Structure 1
Amino acid sequence: MSIPARNTIQDREISPPASTRRSKRRRLSASQDRSTASSKDHSTPPSQESITLYSWNVNGIAPFLQPSVASYLKPSDGKDAGQCTAKASLRDFLRRHAWPNLLFLQEVKINPEDTKTIRAVEKAVARQSSEPADAHDYEIHFCLPSDKFNARGFGRKVYGVCSIVRADFSERYVDTFRPVSWDAEGRFLVIETKATERMPKLAFINVYAVNGTDNPYKDPETGEVAGTRHDRKLRVHSLLQSECRELEARGFSVCIAGDLNIARSRIDGHPNLRTFPKQHCLNRADFEAKFFSDSTKQHKMPVDSAATSAKDVETKDGSLGMIDTFRYLHPEQKSYTYYPRSKTFGDSCDRVDMILVSEALKGNLREAGMHETPSERGPSDHVPLYVQLDFDDETSVPP
């Protein structure tokens, strides 16, 4: 387990039913259903290096710490497995999804001084002696809030991200785990990897982005009001963009994964895209301008996708030109990651969780999708999403 020093105890139209949706695989002759809750084989040839990353806003880690069970997702009464209740167990999630290399959790809601819960998470993802030989062990790394002015509510059980990393992947590839210097709310955690013969240096950023509101944002050092949460959201866009630029300048290809708290276009909101008040449109346009270049062409998106003109925002340094992995592979598919529990599943939903990669990784995309079922949502109000990157000599993808 690793907790960055700043956060240590001492320091203080609706998608079709899941069973009918098919996903695209690069260089595969047949599609495979990836939106059900059953296990998938992510194995690759020995000559190929592959990374599978899952991301999930769990809206509180506590319900996911129950022990693993062997009978997860068993059909009953003739029901399809995807309609059964998935156990809220991190270990079962990892097993069910074929032991991914990385699982990024957002909004874990752990008080940074709560060592008992931190240890419980560590135990929840560890390999058990009773498991078969092919079961994998995992380690955890947290970034929890240290901001005493902006992260005080609910007994300081707010925000926070956790990166769960398969132990063999960490040992072979990972060089550094670190927070970012410009955030104290526990929203960002960076993993930097080593380059290999086939794989470049990679930087994975676990993100729980600021939700723009009219509530005040306070200076984390003085406590003085320094604008609104909308202002802070825009500032974080700029800071994250600069972080990515610095990483790319150091030779890293970047992957941003998490809850971005932005629905990019009309196709990403059901029944409607949020356009009122106008500040949400400005936040969206700012996000588009900073992270994507010519996004309407790049992702085959409608011209009015940003719901306001990018001219409404000022960008001094241009765009990062990143790839929205899901939208790149599925330009016309209506799929969503946020399903509020206060409404019937599918009545209102948005794609606000994303996995973005540097354009240099576009040719390495094999799969991208999400598991849109009530069972996979579990106690959360978000469903998990995933991406698979392959590193070999064949890196072309469909135009």
Structure 2
Amino acid sequence: MKIATFNVNSINARLPRILDWFDKAKPDAVVLQEIKCIDEKFPAHEFEDRGYNVEVHGQKTYNGVALLSKHPLDDVLRGLPYDNSDDQARYIEALVMPDHAEPVRIGGLYLPNGNPAPGPKYDYKLKWMHRLKRHAEKLLKNEEAFVLAGDYNVIPQEEDVHDPKAWADDALFLPETRAAFRELLNLGLTDAIRQANPNGVCYTFWDYQRGAWEKDNGIRIDHLLLSPQAADRFKSAGVDRKERAPGDKKEKPSDHVPAWVELD
């Protein structure tokens, strides 16, 4: 089962390019972030025509997440628990039910950016990460295979950024942010990309400005974290870096590229 995460930076603005990737990569399940539309405006039929079941947790203009699967979806959850006042569409979860294999629960997330820091936006980011940890702890008690995948807006280590000094004061790289991410990993979760490539460059985001792509000034902020039961089924993982490059059918790229994991 190939599970992918892709921050599309507006699903409708980049639909031809995104569909092109779907047709090439043929993922079994995908979580999308920053779809930037309400549920009714999501182009579900384009994906349903390709055999996907579609669940959306949208929001006008900002945020928004979706989960698409070739297999049936059950037990759908929209919104991260533990704060009923949070109206930002940043989390979706469902149980993926293959016909002849154990089910896999997938949580798709768009973690808050947090800038400027310090400030209210950074406080919201850290609180959101604490809620995510609480939810992961609950999921772990079920002893099932699950993947928490998405745009975490976290640069975990210095090897995940082209210039650590340039990002030292950014909310994505502050010590408190990285510590909160390590707390997630320390629950017993596995970073799929680093499992496949422990030391190499695996950037998933390049800014549109300042020639970041051409200079390879990237960062790794899109992650797939595996429960122990999912990690036991790990086969491979990677980043589809070419999706950021210009070229035929490559107009209007997202500033992110897809990252994926394959489970047995």
TM-score tier by shorter-chain length is: 0.7 to 0.9
Q: Which amino acid aligns with 2:111?
A: A
Q: Equivalents in 2 of 1:325, 1:233: separation in Å?
A: 23
Structure 1 residue 186 displacement after superposition? 0.5
Q: Say whether 1:239 aligns with 2:106.
A: no
Contact preservation (8 Å) 1:104, 1:206? yes
Q: 1:63 to 1:285 in 2, by over 3 A?
A: same
Contact preservation (8 Å) 1:144, 1:186? yes
2:2 is paired with a residue whose SS is: strand
- Gap runs ≥5 in structure 1: 1-50, 67-87, 128-135, 146-155, 217-226, 294-319, 391-399
Q: 1:110 to 1:277 in 2, by over 3 A?
A: closer
Structure 1 residue 346 displacement after superposition? 4.6
Q: 1:93: which partner in 2?
A: 21
Q: Say whether 1:325 aligns with 2:224.
A: no
1:211 is paired with a residue whose SS is: coil
Q: 1:162: which partner in 2?
A: 66
Structure 1 residue 141 displacement after superposition? 1.0
Q: Which amino acid aligns with 1:355?
A: L
Q: 1:285: which partner in 2?
A: 179
Q: Equivalents in 1 of 2:156, 2:214: separation in Å?
A: 18
Contact preservation (8 Å) 2:34, 2:62? yes
Q: Equivalents in 2 of 1:240, 1:377: separation in Å?
A: 35
Structure 1 residue 363 displacement after superposition? 2.4
What aligned pairs does 1:1-399 form with structure 2 within 5 A after superposition?
51-66=1-16, 88-90=17-19, 92-97=20-25, 99-111=26-38, 115=40, 117-118=41-42, 121-127=43-49, 136-145=50-59, 156-166=60-70, 169-170=71-72, 174-180=73-79, 181=81, 182=83, 183-193=86-96, 199=102, 201-214=103-116, 228-272=120-164, 274-276=167-169, 280-288=174-182, 290-293=183-186, 320-344=187-211, 345-347=213-215, 348-373=217-242, 374-375=245-246, 378-390=252-264
Q: Equivalents in 1 of 2:180, 2:15: separation in Å?
A: 37
Q: Flag as ranges the 4+ runs of structure 1 deviating above 6 A.
A: none
Q: 1:260 to 1:377 in 2, by over 3 A?
A: farther
Q: Equivalents in 2 of 1:349, 1:209: separation in Å?
A: 18
Q: Equivalents in 2 of 1:192, 1:353: separation in Å?
A: 21
> Taking every aligned residue pair, what percent have the same amino acid on both sides?
24
Output one character per residue of 1:60-99: Cα deviation in whole Å (capped at 9) or x when no partner.
1122334xxxxxxxxxxxxxxxxxxxxx142x222111x2
Q: Which amino acid aligns with 1:213?
A: N
- Gap runs ≥5 in structure 2: none
TM-score scaled by length of structure 2: 0.86
Q: Which has the larger radius of gyration?
A: 1
Q: Equivalents in 2 of 1:358, 1:346: separation in Å?
A: 36
Structure 1 residue 236 displacement after superposition? 1.0
RMSD: 2.4
**Greater share of strand:** 2
Q: Equivalents in 1 of 2:97, 2:31: separation in Å?
A: 19
Q: How many residues align?
A: 251
